Chain A
């Protein structure tokens, strides 16, 4: 329903997202990538908050113009969403004009309705995040754009919220560092590195058999319960300005990588790496 076509995004004159084509398809879409890779920037463009310097954002096949209906249908749940510090959280939720009672909404996201009378600073970070989710769900949106919705939450609360999100009809674009979360909630995933999509495909396959070396590094760095510390390379997390941006960290880099790899289709995967077919 929402699609970025060859979108380039910039702050001032510095482009941070380059020529990205990405469609929010049914079944949930995951956006994974390192800190600073442009995930939030792309999310802001999908919300109509940032205009592409190149390319277009299409909503139902048409360029984003009438933002009014759109604003209700597409709801953000952001990392650092700031709730009004003076407003009791129950009122914050009620202000969004929910279709169901505030107490049921709070229960739905695992919040004790007794907390409705508290102000944001009287709640833990995780509880605040749940208020933000309750507020976004209040208007029964068609699409949720979630930026690290559960990263501040502990595993059990996380599980309850994932359960909740998984049971919703609402389409979603989910930005996260957590691979377990995308595998649970997103049929399709895209891996962003230095502002470019380096790998896309069905989530289960992409995580089981990553084709891009960065996707592989991501998967291998996930700590295992009771295992050994995640392997570190000791390398500066730098990105190359020319050629493949990952080449300064890539264990497979060859001289050809000084040339930028174009994304190519391999089965139902798209991968931007000169050596993808060898993996």
Chain B
């Protein structure tokens, strides 16, 4: 569960994003859309305590903006997972995927089946023996999600999780996320510039412009209000 109120993200004196209220309940998917520089990614970073911010952010019961570094690291490592545009870059190049996952599980004192987590995202467990450069972008994306599940994540924050993938692989990654929402009540907050994509999966769409929330749409969307989002961005 993610609850945000009166959030302001700052770089020095410059307010990069301001979000009055935002909630993502278990099993929900909420998308933030907006043009580049509109404050989407800054908001996501602030939610995990990775950017200077004021206001209130609660994720899985943790008061993010007032938590200590240890508590934050625990939150980020297990309950809340960040899935980036190119997760391959974040994996240590000389460590096999299996060793990496085993180490993460041990670090957080979690006992979970790595094979099961891999299968949950439709990955062959044999890939655990590979190095990061030996898997494709789509596989790396799903591995990041598998890792999150193995660690028992309740919340996934994703920054353009499929924009580096071709549409056929994107469809597979989205299907995995949809299934996890239904089966494990996973909450997903996704930043994307692909309005068409998020309009097919999100319960709500938050539209940002120049650091401000300029509108929130609720499913089911009408064609008219979706098309108006392009206008709001232009």
Contacts and interface: CB of A to CB of B under 8 A. Distances in A.
Contacts of B137: 35-36
A177 B166 contact: yes
Given A152-B163, A154-B35, A225-B195, A231 B171 contact: yes
Interface stretch (A58-66, A92-100, A233-241, A252-260): A233-241
Q: Chain A binding site: helix, strand, loop or mixed by DSSP? A: loop
Nearest to A35: B137
Interface in B52-108: 85
Contact of B196 (A156, A225, A232, A233): A225
Given A223-B196, A229-B201, A35 B166 contact: yes
Contacts of B5: none
B193 A155 contact: yes
Given A35-B137, A236-B122, A236-B124, A125 B36 contact: yes
Given A35-B136, A156-B230, A156-B234, A126 B167 contact: no
A189 B125 CA distance: 36
Interface string A140-163: 000000001001111111100000
A112 B15 CA distance: 18
Given A36-B136, A224-B200, A225-B223, A153 B36 contact: yes
B34 interface: yes
B175 A232 contact: yes
B45 interface: no
Contact of A157 (B33, B35, B201, B223): B35
A124 interface: yes
A158 B226 CA distance: 17
Interface stretch (A201-209, A214-222, A262-270): A214-222
Contact of A155 (B169, B175, B195): B195
B36 A229 contact: no
Interface in B195-234: 195-197, 199-201, 221-223, 226-227, 230, 233-234
A237 B138 contact: yes
Contact of A229 (B160, B165, B175, B222): B175
Contact of A151 (B41, B163, B175): B163
B106 to A, nearest CB: 28
Interface residues of A, number: 42
A30 interface: no
A73 interface: no
A127 B37 CA distance: 7
A127 B230 CA distance: 19
A217 B168 contact: yes
Given A36-B136, A226-B226, A234-B175, A177 B167 contact: yes
A76 interface: no
Contacts of B4: none
Interface residues of B, number: 45
B200 A229 contact: yes
A167 interface: no
B172 A127 contact: no
A132 to B, nearest CB: 13
**Which of B41, B196, B227 has most A Cβ within 10 Å?**
B196
B172 A232 contact: yes
Given A156-B234, A224-B200, A236-B122, A230 B167 contact: yes
Nearest to A153: B36
A123 interface: yes
A132 B34 CA distance: 21
Top 9 A-B pairs, shortest CB-CB distance: A126-B36, A232-B175, A154-B193, A124-B37, A230-B171, A35-B137, A221-B167, A36-B136, A34-B166
15 contacts: A34-B138, A34-B166, A34-B168, A124-B41, A152-B36, A152-B193, A154-B36, A155-B194, A179-B167, A218-B166, A222-B196, A223-B196, A223-B199, A230-B197, A236-B124
Given A152-B160, A155-B233, 16 more contacts: A126-B37, A152-B163, A152-B193, A157-B36, A218-B167, A226-B200, A226-B226, A228-B200, A229-B171, A229-B178, A230-B167, A232-B174, A234-B172, A236-B124, A237-B169, A237-B172
Interface of B: 33-38, 41, 85, 122-124, 136-139, 160, 163-172, 174-175, 178, 193-197, 199-201, 221-223, 226-227, 230, 233-234
